Chains A and B, each alone.
Chain A
Amino acid sequence: MAEAAATLPVRSPRAVPWRRAGGPLAGGIAVLWLSLVVLLPLAALTSSAFDDGLGAFWHQATSERAIAAFKLTLGLSAAAAAINAVVGTAIAWVLVRDSFRGKRLVEGVIDLPFAMPTIVAGLTLLAIYGSKSPVGIDISYTRAGLLVALLFVTLPFVVRAVQPVLLDFDADAEAAAASLGAGPLTIARRIILPVLRPAILSGAALAFARALGEFGAVVLITDNQPYHSEYASVLIFSQQESSTAASAAAVSVALLVLSLVALVALEYLERRSVRHDD
């Protein structure tokens, strides 16, 4: 009693409005709706994947065709994330430190991939770099084509992660290093990069996770040959189309697990970067 009386006026200014605001009821509705829309379908997926037991799941998720698709998907997603880490940082750097006419236009263009439907992204790349390329560059039916499509859809992640950190960056440290005789490369490597690293990593992780599940941008680029140029999402799509539902579910769960691992790693990176900020 005494304890409750002592804590009541000070500790719970938030708890009282939450109850009074009908919070528990609204919260219950929201959680129920989320469960129905998000969790129930994923539970159904997982249940179907393991319908015939763990052995059957493993057999389907690691079939030769699935392994080939996962290798292609993981390799290209990692490549896209790595290129984004470098190029995205360069873009953020130019947007923050450079000034030139038309910079605002460049700033606007960065978000284009978020606004553009993925199937349109794939088609636009084919329009210029496809088999009837007006500029004589044909990347359709190649892995390079898939990589370019992934680079298109994942472009904003690293830029948007690094930009705010760079904006907040204290230029004094740079000036101090320069006055002590450090060259621009040394400053970039020893002073700036350590500060940017968490943001670069978390942007690259987002790009990686996004690339893993990509479908629309890659489906038109190649002929999606099994074992050769078939992306993981494309494999799942063709499996559900040819009504091999069980293997579609198994490969889906495997791809989902890979994406979740990427997301958890991202969460960890974000936590760490927050700690660094403090």
Chain B
Amino acid sequence: MTTERRGLLAMRAFVLVYLTLLLVLPVIFVFRQAFVDGFGAAWTAITSSAALDALGQTLLVAAIAVPANTVLGIGLALLLARGPRWLRAPLGAVVSLPLAVPPVVIGVSLLLLFGRHGWLEGPTASLGLTILFSWPGMTLATIFISLPFVAREVVPLLRELGTEQEDAARTLGAGSWQTFRRVTFPAIRPAIAYGVVLTTARAIGEFGAVSVVSGRFVGQTQTLPVFIQNREDNLDPVAAYAAAVVLAIIALLVLALMIRFQQRKETAWRSTPAV
């Protein structure tokens, strides 16, 4: 018993040291580095017009991508859990595909699709649309990269819930929209919330795919992550770290929401009727 206790204590110590060195200390030091020349310098760097433009660009892209993927994600989840059986495997594979595609590869794909001699170069040009090196392309890349999260959270809960309550609602004369709004949606809301948080984190932080399609024009198509790399490459660490602090604070808020919604999600799972 004592050797077991000692083993457990050693393991605990190892885990705590590992997490501290790998996660906790680096995040603390990013704050330190940002304020190394004083708070004023960091503030000036983060309120420069390039930094504010980058923040605006990041928020604009997220503001389109997150709602789009939320609505689509719920639809896909319903299709995956309630739709015809033959559709489930291929559709599930396509929905999970973005998780397997490296972000830079997504960027290159969009570049080739909309770029010179690309399949959609002509159609978008004749419609007068600018996709690449502009916010629509960055938004498309972000939608691609953050597509699976809502669906993947909602599907298992929908399966667990079963169709009994939905069938009961229909038997009582509810239409399909009414059934969804009054029965299905309230039940899957915790999973949706968790998925939306994951989607938002990914949309705000996406770097590889967005960087490729953005063209990285200062003040126009730089998102905050692209701005960070640009400042770091140009030996302007204070600006890079100050912007990183902004994103780190957003990440910590996201993390707090994740923990909160995770708990709610677990409650939702536990309160589902036993099958």
Contact = CB atoms under 8 A, between A and B. Distances in A.
A29 B110 CA distance: 21
Contacts of B99: 209, 263
B91 to A, nearest CB: 7
Interface size class of A (residues with CB under 8 A): 35 or more
Contacts of A98: 8, 11-12
Nearest to B95: A34
A180 interface: no
A90 B108 contact: no
B79 A233 contact: no
B31 to A, nearest CB: 9
Q: Main SS of chain B's interface residues?
A: helix
B225 to A, nearest CB: 4
Contacts of B206: 117
Interface string B70-113: 00100110110011100100010011111111111111111111
B213 to A, nearest CB: 10
B32 A134 contact: yes
Interface size class of B (residues with CB under 8 A): 35 or more
Contact of A119 (B32, B33, B207, B212): B207
Contacts of A41: 106, 109-110, 112-113, 144
Interface of B: 3-4, 7-8, 11-12, 14-16, 18-19, 22-27, 29-30, 32-33, 72, 75-76, 78-79, 82-84, 87, 91, 94-113, 115, 118-120, 140, 143-144, 147, 163, 166-167, 170, 176, 179-180, 198, 201, 204-208, 211-212, 224-225, 228-229, 232, 240-241, 244, 247-248, 251-252, 254-256, 258-259
16 contacts: A17-B163, A20-B176, A21-B179, A34-B95, A98-B12, A108-B255, A111-B255, A114-B201, A115-B252, A119-B244, A120-B251, A124-B30, A155-B23, A240-B108, A255-B102, A262-B100
